[in-house]
Each structure stands twice: as structure tokens, then as C-alpha cells.
Chain A
């Protein structure tokens, strides 16, 4: 049974029915087919019961009211008709609740999300607890769908068009305080006094007619004139829809169909009769539920659920040992060191930020303080809190205090000899148990470990720049790294709010190894006749967050070139650095954003966008002349294909060489490390969707035309031969949540 029904027949609460959601899943409540049909029967029974004066919905689960519909069922939808049936099933039942002859009250005592929120919307009254885990919202667009249980219809009617669009298009979840402000709920209650507060509410609803009236009146009161105009007039609505669409296109470039559909649907149904509106909602839902974007996003959701449960070890019994005293140290206070210092301090680890000179330490403080100031701008922190967090960082130029450090992260210059020396020196001051990590982006962990006395405690922990924005951390065990160290580091990275993915120790690890060929391919296209701006535009329009050249500028051409050299040395011909890239890097005059000029000219005020650096023309022309290259032009599609397929081929090689074992994890790493577009689901998912056969054929064609670096990876050839895909063996992993 997924529900507990209790009807009070005597006493003060006579006539109060309580339907408590108690899904068979021990942790959450969800509206899957089974519980929906059960709910249907319960509502049908109650609707004919003349004794009931009030129906209360609540939940038996800690911190969860209803977490939404069953995502597995949505993932399984393959036709429009199936989608429409699915939505209609839930929508009808929820509509029945709205049609009950007695009032209903939703007691939201935890996450009230998606279908759960839609159920609450159908109730007459809603009250929610002030617990921080009590969040309310309609995050459907994040899974590539739109609310289909009446949310598109009821939300705008309850909270006004502007608020509704904001909630539905962003998919953001809000806490009770905010929900109260937009009248999504009628009352907020003290989580620790739930029983008393709910009883008071019930008593008032049972005995005070005027109270119930005032609750409803409250919802529309105190609305400013401008909001009345925007929410409640035709002209105002028109303007709101126009702005919402404009902002959405700016943000998503139209690459995500769900929010677009949401706007379309809400526009169509705004102001029309509810029965008709519900039908239109179903139509909208079924259109997006079968898109590949939705399937991709749901797959990513499942993958992230899985990754969050990963411990980093096969043996699930091996549990992480938390850091003794939360004492950490970072060696090297550059931009990365400062960023890592920021991250550690933000999560209340005490950190010693060591460099050779005080001026360098100050640079690290600047980065950390910068990231805090950015947070402050978004009101995520105030000045007092910043002072407190900055106090977790202690700059130093010696090894004072290292006897009591639990974890260090080395972030010095990317030269293996220097790293080895720094790590070996630090090790002599550190206690036996200390985990030593390196933030190297491409150097061998196993090689670095040779300098250490305790290689079992040593591991790669690769953060991406900028640390405050990039969610991914590559965890790289060396040959001698102990499993306990892996498990501890994975758990540590999770405690920082980042996503750890364990990859093998190869040059460039996973993300840079896949990224670098793309940057290089872009440079090759440039020397063959393309131009910087067009190439960047093409790659960006594919869905990448930025083009390869602007990315090089952000990273720094010198650093990019350094990493490219390491990869060239490790992988030989297929990673051979494009001649033009070498020429530009060797002038050393163009370094990128940090000096103001690279492939682009960058301006210190953040408002003016970078413009192409004309000074490169002479270098490019000279290079073409010297190498007798006749410049040809490239179509957008060709640029995209060369860049993406080059990455794709390298990604397959990584899988083939077991740099990472799970294609879904690889895709997640691409998403979080490279910003590969989520609607494509990741590189390998993209390949699956394109059809491996056609991908393979295209690679072979490129291989002939542009060079053997495109020669399809053996694993890809095998998959084509056996007619399988990367994701074929992946079942919906959260079936047994």
C-alpha cells in the first residue's frame, strides 16, 4: 500500500480525512502508475463520503512530500500517444482532487516536486514547513519535458503569469519562505512543531469560514499596479511572454525544446477554460516527452544519481575515513592554488596556502577573495561570512604547521621535476596519514609518485579552471595508490560539493585528452584556410559553451601549448601540434586573456566583448605561404564535424583503453569538464544517436582526406561490426532506488 487513509469520526476533528503518502520505496514518495491508480480509488471513495469536511494530504517520509512522477516511466515513453495517455492518467486523478466537494489541504513537509507540486496545486490550501529541505517547484524542463499533470494550467492561475513562467522555465526549486511570498503556499509552519501547527490550521479551517476566505483573498491582495498590469491584462501578458521568450532564446539558443514548448503551451492555455487547457497541456507534454533531448537529459540525470553514489572502489564495503581535523594545505598559490584554497575554505576546511614568496601567496588570496566577492554579488554570502571563511586560509612560505595536516593538494607549475621536488620536500614534514594529491592536468601520477616515500597516499585530484564554476574533479590513482586513498579522496571531493570521476593515469587524463584534439583540429582548420571567428562561431553553435580559440585565450595559449606538447609527446602523430598553433605560441607575444591579447583582443572592462586580434593575420599568412598552403574555406557543418568527430574518436579510444570504464560516466565528464551540451547527452550518446555506422564511415572519410588521426578507434569498428551501441547495455539504473 502506498497510502494510509485516516478518517476521524468523532471529536474535534470529526470529518477530517488524512491521506498520508507512504510509498513502498523506503526513502521517497513518487507518483508512479501503481500509486496513481491507488490514489484514484481512494479519491473516488472519498468523493462519495458525505461526512468529510476536509481532506488533508501529508507524507510519512522524512523531508519528502512527493518527489514527482516516476522518471523511469517517462524515459520508457516512445510514442506521442503513449505520452498523452501517461499524462492524462495523472492529470485526471489530480483534477478529481480539485473537483472534490469539500476543501483539501496539502501539508508540504518536504520536497514537493514535479507531479507532487502539481498535486499540491490542485488542493484548496497549501501549507509548507520552514525546513531547508522543504523545496517546491516544477523542474520538468530539466528532464526535457513540461509539467503534464496540470502544472502549466494551475501554476499561472495561482501565482500569476510572471512567477509561473519563472518557476516552470528555470525549473528552480524554492523554499517555503519564497513560496509564501509568491502565494504558492498559504501558510508557512514551524517544522519542529508540525503537529501543533497543522492542528491549529485544521481547527481554523473547520470552524472559521472567514479564515478560509481570508486565506484566498490574501493571494491576490497587495499586488503592485505594475504586476497587476503584467499578470492580469492581455497587453501585459503579451509583453511578459515576449520577454520570457527572448530571455530563453538568449540562454538556450533554442537548443532545448522543453522550455520553448512550455512557453507555447502556457500562452495557448492562459485564460481559457480549465478542461480545454488541460487537453492542450497534454498535447504539449506529449510533443516533448518523445524528443531525443528529453531522453538524453533523463539519461544524464540517472548517470548523475549513480555517480553521486560512487565510492571510487569496486569493494563497496570500503568506507572513507574523514579527515581528522579538517586541516589541509595547498602548495602553490597561483590561480589554481587560490581557487582550490577558496573551495576548501568555503567548505570550512582549514587550509595553509604555501608558496615560495609572500607576493605569490597574496596572488592566491586575490583569487580566493575574488571568488567570494562573486558569491557576494549573487547574495550567496555576506561580508562577515567572507571574513570568516577567508580566515580559514593561512598564507605561509614555510612548512610551519604541516605536522598536523590531513590532506595536501599540490598546484605548482606543470613541470614534473619541480612537482616531484616540491612533493618530496613537503612529504618530509607531513604526518604518515596525510593524503597527498596533485592538481596536475596532464602529468603522470605514477611517475610523480616515484619521488615519494608513501606513494600509496598519493593520488591525482584534478580541478578545472575556474574552480568556482567547474563542477568536475578528475581523480587519478597512480599504480601504487591504495584503494583507501581513492575512497577517501572521492569522499573528500564530494564534501566540497564537486563531482569526482575516477580516471586512469594517462597523459591528459580524460578531459584534456579529449579536449586537446579539438583545439588542435580548430588550429588545423585555421591554417588550412578557416578563420578564427567563424570556427569559434561554428563550434559554439553546436552547443559548446565557447569556441576553441576563445577557450585557448581563457586558458592561456602558453598553458594550452604546454599541455599540447605533453600530449604530443605521449600520443605521437595523432596529437601532433598544428603548425600554426606552434608559430603563434612561439612568438610568446600572444598569451591570451591574462595579457589582453591572444587569438582575440580582450578588454579590461567586462562589458566590451573580445574582438579578433588582427595582428595574427600576418602570422597566419606567413605560415600559409611558407608551407605552400592554398587557403580553402570551410562550411559551418564541416568545421563542426571535424572538431566534434576528432573529440569523439579520442573519447572512444579512452573507453577502449579503459581510462574510464563506463560510457555514461565518460559523457558526464564531458558535460561537466568541457561543457559538452547536455541536450546531446554527451559525446558517446551523441555518437549513438547519430548511428555508429554513419559516424564510423564519416571518420574513415575524414581519415583519408585529413589524416590518420581520424582513423576510427578499434572499439568503434567493433561496435559497428557487432551492430551494438555504447549505451545498449545500460538499463535504467535507478529502477531499484
Chain B
């Protein structure tokens, strides 16, 4: 068996609904604050750090290789190398496993892995026609040439392409993410009511966790530029007074006529960042550090893009095979809540022998999941899903949940747009 990966510690920014309080903070600045603060929290000399790996999906045009920008802005020495990874929604996890693999291969000792996303910052883009017009205009030299090109302009050229819509639409199956959730709702026959109840629960659990101060130790407050009049200390998309009534009133968003998925039972687009410091277990021992927890193993799996929401079960199946673990070994489970329908679909699939036979090449069902151990402090429907950073949050939150419950073993799983899944086996001791 390979050596475990120590998660020495981890923190994250508050998660804020896109376009709200943290909209003015750039993804690189947000990441830099968190990375800097993480290092301060652990308080080891900067020159011990070998590499910074950051997951980021919608990389801002002004921060190419955002990981390097973050490393420098966080005050790390210029000699520290950095690069950016993108496995869509699993990018935060990818940063950790990429680091893990490098450490196992003997490339470095200490890595900062994290994720950052400013979905508020996703730009509007000029369409091809307008872009061409600009190109020709710049190439033209004389005034008549310029005028002739300008005369070809039509107001429709100004219609922007919303990069966030493009990003959330699968280019292969042509469905957007919400529509893939509708596919699962149909396949697993998940009613609108079930989805709304699930969403309500997420808010109730998250609200309780926030009010009990559970998140205080994992969130580092963000001071809000440009004027610094306010400080963001908490996740702002969860609703303390969420009622089923209010959820029921919402119209389906992705399939307006016959659909079941609403903005209320889906996760919001979000700004946020998170980071962990990782090293092999032996290195942590050598430095006398007491890690937050360990990664025992992990797996990524691929599946049909239009059923991407089932990623968790595909990946978990692979993870169990790899580790010879059983579902009953896990004391707590985090499954990222991209959509209520998608998590419920996974729960059903985990319990289904048919599903195991048909899709996982297994004789028995993977194992029923006790809903009471899933996402005990709420999930992305309440807390938000900054795509690059969610993976990082799942790991941090699950390890801290295990600690708070005096439990040892956890499963963190996540679905990935484009048709993939990720699953991590975590341990405290």
C-alpha cells in the first residue's frame, strides 16, 4: 500500500453567491489571501514549500497560470514553482491528487494545493462577427477602408456570449448541467417534492452548522476591496429561514414546461477559494506536525456526459475496488450537491443491485447509504459551488466533521461536468 497523504491543515474563504459581496475580489487575489493565511496558520518557513498547485476552471484572462500569480501574491519566494490544474468541478481535488502523485514520485516534499474561482468574474465575450470586425478594422489603413468595414456593422454583433453559460453547457451532449440533472430525475424517478425537501434539509443543516460556529475555524474572513467598508466572514448563500413553501413556488429553470429542477434545488454559482498544505505522512511526522487528517486513497471515473451527476458512484466503485474498503467503513460522507436530484440519484444507485449489475460490473449493490451521515453540515445547495474550490472545501469540511464527531473514516465524492466523478477515502488517525 502506498504511503498516506497528510492534509496538514486547510482553510477557505467564505463562499458567496456570484455577483454579491465578493464579486469585487479577483480569483487570484482571493486565492492569494487564503494561501498566505494557510501558511501563516501552520507557521512554517516559506522556503520549505516546494510547489503551489491550484485548481481553477474559468481562468481569468489577466492571470494566466493563476497558480503562479497566487504563489507570488501570497508572498512565496520566486523560486517556488506553481501550476494550475483543471478537472472542471473536481479541480480543487485534482490539485491535491496531482500534488500527492508528485510527492510519491519524489518530486518535492511540501505542496500547497487549493482551488479558487470567481464566477462573478466570468466575462461577457464579443461574438465572432464583432471580433472579426475589430480585427479587420485594426488591419485597415486608410479612412475609406475603415468606413467600408464599419458599414458592415450590425447591432446584433453586440450580443455577448456569456462565458458562464458556455462553461456550464456540455459541448458533447449539448445539455447544460441543469438538464443533465433532469435526465437523472427522469431515470431515477425523483419527484420535485423530494428534491425540494432535500434542498430544504441542506439549508437547515448548513444554517445550524453556521450558527453553532462549525465553519469559523475553516473560514478566513475576506476584507472587501476596493473600499474595504465591509468584511465577509461567513458563507452568504444559505438561508436561515428557508421554507418548503418558498422552494415549491419556484418555477423549473432548465426545463420550463415539464421539469423538476429549480434554482432552489440546485447549487448557486459562487465565488470562493480554499487551500490545504499537503505532505507525505512521514514528512509530517519528521516536522512534528499534527495533520488535520489523511488521504488513504482516491479514484476518478468517467461516464456518459449527460449523466455526469452519477460521477460519485462510479468513482466510489473504483475506489472500493482499489482499497478493498466497503461502504460500511465510512462513518461520514460528503457528496457534493450540484443538484438535489443528482445526489438523490446517487443514493438510489448506491442501494441498487440493478445499477451495480448494469453499470458497475458488480454482482451486489455498492451499499445503501444512511442519509443521516451524508453532508451533515449542509452542502453546495446551501453553501454554494465555486467550481475550482469546491473539491478543496469538501476535503477540509469532511475532515473537520469527522473530528467534531469523533469519527475516523470518511468518503468525499463529487460529480464533474463533462462526465466524470471523484471519490476520496479520508482518515483522521
B-binding residues in A (CB < 8 A): 325, 327, 350, 352, 358-359, 361-362, 365-366, 369, 384, 387-388, 390-392, 394-396, 400-404
* B30 to A: closest C-beta gap in Å: 10
Interface residues of B in 16-46 (CB under 8 A from A): 26, 29, 32-33, 36-37, 39-41, 43, 45-46
Q: Which residues of A contact B231 (CB under 8 A)?
A: 358-359, 361-362
Q: Which residues of B contact A384 (CB under 8 A)?
A: 62
| Complex A-B: 30 CB contacts under 8 Å | A325-B46, A325-B47, A327-B75, A352-B40, A358-B221, A359-B231, A362-B223, A362-B229, A365-B223, A365-B228, A366-B227, A366-B229, A369-B225, A369-B226, A388-B73, A390-B29, A390-B225, A391-B36, A391-B73, A391-B75, A394-B36, A394-B37, A395-B221, A395-B223, A396-B40, A400-B40, A400-B41, A400-B43, A401-B41, A404-B43
Q: Which residues of B contact A327 (CB under 8 A)?
A: 75
A387-B26, A387-B29, A404-B45 as given contacts; A362 in contact with B230, CB under 8 Å? yes
- If A361-B223, A391-B74 are given as contacts, then 4 extra A-B residue pairs at C-beta distance below 8 Å, sorted by A number, are A325-B47, A362-B230, A362-B231, A394-B33
- Cβ 8 A contact of A391, one of B32, B41, B62: B32
Q: Check B239 for interface membership: any CB of A closer than 8 A.
A: no
Q: Which residues of A contact B226 (CB under 8 A)?
A: 369
| In contact, B75 and A401 (Cβ under 8 angstroms) | no
Q: Check B233 for interface membership: any CB of A closer than 8 A.
A: yes
Which residue in chain A gives the minimum CB-CB distance to B230? A362
CA distance A638 to B32 in the complex (A): 59
* A529 to B: closest C-beta gap in Å: 46
A358-B221, A366-B227, A369-B226 as given contacts; A403 in contact with B33, CB under 8 Å? no
* B67 to A: closest C-beta gap in Å: 15
CA distance A325 to B75 in the complex (A): 10
- Cβ 8 A contact of B228, one of A352, A362, A394, A404: A362
A358-B233, A391-B29 as given contacts; A403 in contact with B43, CB under 8 Å? yes
* A173 to B: closest C-beta gap in Å: 32
Q: Which residues of B contact A325 (CB under 8 A)?
A: 45-47
Q: Which residues of A contact B73 (CB under 8 A)?
A: 388, 391
Q: Which residues of B contact A350 (CB under 8 A)?
A: 75
CA distance A36 to B353 in the complex (A): 102
* B23 to A: closest C-beta gap in Å: 15
Sort A-B residue pairs by CB-CB distance and give the 5 closest, nearest first. A401-B40, A365-B228, A400-B40, A350-B75, A391-B73
Which residue in chain A gives the minimum CB-CB distance to B75? A350
* B95 to A: closest C-beta gap in Å: 20
CA distance A358 to B74 in the complex (A): 20
| In contact, B43 and A402 (Cβ under 8 angstroms) | yes
CA distance A395 to B225 in the complex (A): 13
* B57 to A: closest C-beta gap in Å: 21
Which of A391, A392, A404 is most buried by chain B, counting CB atoms within 10 A of its CB?
A391
Q: Which residues of B contact A369 (CB under 8 A)?
A: 225-228
Q: Which residues of B contact A396 (CB under 8 A)?
A: 37, 40
* A603 to B: closest C-beta gap in Å: 21
A358-B221, A401-B41, A401-B43 as given contacts; A391 in contact with B33, CB under 8 Å? yes
**Size bracket of the B interface:** 20 to 34
CA distance A390 to B39 in the complex (A): 18
| In contact, A400 and B37 (Cβ under 8 angstroms) | yes
| In contact, A404 and B37 (Cβ under 8 angstroms) | no
Which residue in chain B gives the minimum CB-CB distance to A394? B36
CA distance A369 to B73 in the complex (A): 17
CA distance A325 to B39 in the complex (A): 14
* A102 to B: closest C-beta gap in Å: 43
Which residue in chain B gives the minimum CB-CB distance to A353? B223
Interface residues of B in 339-392 (CB under 8 A from A): none
Q: Which residues of B contact A391 (CB under 8 A)?
A: 29, 32-33, 36, 73-75
* B403 to A: closest C-beta gap in Å: 19
Interface residues of B in 232-279 (CB under 8 A from A): 233
Which of B74, B221, B229 is most buried by chain A, counting CB atoms within 10 A of its CB?
B221
Q: Which residues of A contact B39 (CB under 8 A)?
A: 401
CA distance A256 to B396 in the complex (A): 66
* A354 to B: closest C-beta gap in Å: 11
- Cβ 8 A contact of A392, one of B45, B62, B75: B75
CA distance A395 to B222 in the complex (A): 9
A394-B33, A395-B223 as given contacts; A366 in contact with B41, CB under 8 Å? no
CA distance A401 to B43 in the complex (A): 5
| In contact, B46 and A404 (Cβ under 8 angstroms) | yes
Q: Which residues of A contact B46 (CB under 8 A)?
A: 325, 404
CA distance A327 to B47 in the complex (A): 13
* B38 to A: closest C-beta gap in Å: 9
Q: Which residues of B contact A388 (CB under 8 A)?
A: 73
CA distance A589 to B377 in the complex (A): 50
CA distance A211 to B236 in the complex (A): 68
Q: Which residues of B contact A352 (CB under 8 A)?
A: 40
Which of A387, A392, A402 is most buried by chain B, counting CB atoms within 10 A of its CB?
A387
Which residue in chain B gives the minimum CB-CB distance to A367? B228
* A290 to B: closest C-beta gap in Å: 53
CA distance A391 to B41 in the complex (A): 17
Which residue in chain A gives the minimum CB-CB distance to B232? A358
Q: Which residues of A contact B29 (CB under 8 A)?
A: 387, 390-391
CA distance A362 to B227 in the complex (A): 9
One digit per residue, 1 when the CB lies within 8 angstroms of any chain A CB and 0 when it does not, for chain B 34-74 equals: 00110111010111000000000000001000000000011
Q: Which residues of A contact B41 (CB under 8 A)?
A: 400-401
Q: Which residues of B contact A358 (CB under 8 A)?
A: 221, 223, 231, 233
Which residue in chain A gives the minimum CB-CB distance to B39? A401
A387-B29, A394-B37 as given contacts; A366 in contact with B221, CB under 8 Å? no
* B222 to A: closest C-beta gap in Å: 9
CA distance A291 to B73 in the complex (A): 52
* A264 to B: closest C-beta gap in Å: 47
CA distance A325 to B48 in the complex (A): 13
Q: Which residues of B contact A402 (CB under 8 A)?
A: 43
CA distance A7 to B33 in the complex (A): 62
CA distance A391 to B45 in the complex (A): 19
CA distance A327 to B33 in the complex (A): 15
Which residue in chain A gives the minimum CB-CB distance to B220? A396
CA distance A395 to B46 in the complex (A): 18
CA distance A424 to B383 in the complex (A): 40
Q: Which residues of B contact A395 (CB under 8 A)?
A: 221, 223
* B110 to A: closest C-beta gap in Å: 15
CA distance A352 to B227 in the complex (A): 19
| In contact, A394 and B40 (Cβ under 8 angstroms) | yes
CA distance A362 to B47 in the complex (A): 30
CA distance A325 to B36 in the complex (A): 14
CA distance A359 to B224 in the complex (A): 12
Which residue in chain A gives the minimum CB-CB distance to B62? A384
Q: Which residues of B contact A362 (CB under 8 A)?
A: 223, 228-231
CA distance A387 to B30 in the complex (A): 11
CA distance A401 to B41 in the complex (A): 6
* B300 to A: closest C-beta gap in Å: 33
Which residue in chain A gives the minimum CB-CB distance to B38? A400
CA distance A717 to B307 in the complex (A): 96
Q: Which residues of A contact B74 (CB under 8 A)?
A: 391
Q: Which residues of B contact A392 (CB under 8 A)?
A: 75
CA distance A352 to B231 in the complex (A): 17
Q: Which residues of A contact B227 (CB under 8 A)?
A: 366, 369
* A534 to B: closest C-beta gap in Å: 39
Q: Which residues of A contact B75 (CB under 8 A)?
A: 327, 350, 391-392
* A357 to B: closest C-beta gap in Å: 10
Which residue in chain B gives the minimum CB-CB distance to A397? B221
CA distance A388 to B70 in the complex (A): 10
Q: Which residues of A contact B221 (CB under 8 A)?
A: 358, 395
* B342 to A: closest C-beta gap in Å: 36
Q: Which residues of A contact B47 (CB under 8 A)?
A: 325
* A392 to B: closest C-beta gap in Å: 7
CA distance A395 to B29 in the complex (A): 14
Q: Which residues of B contact A401 (CB under 8 A)?
A: 39-41, 43
* B281 to A: closest C-beta gap in Å: 23
CA distance A327 to B43 in the complex (A): 12
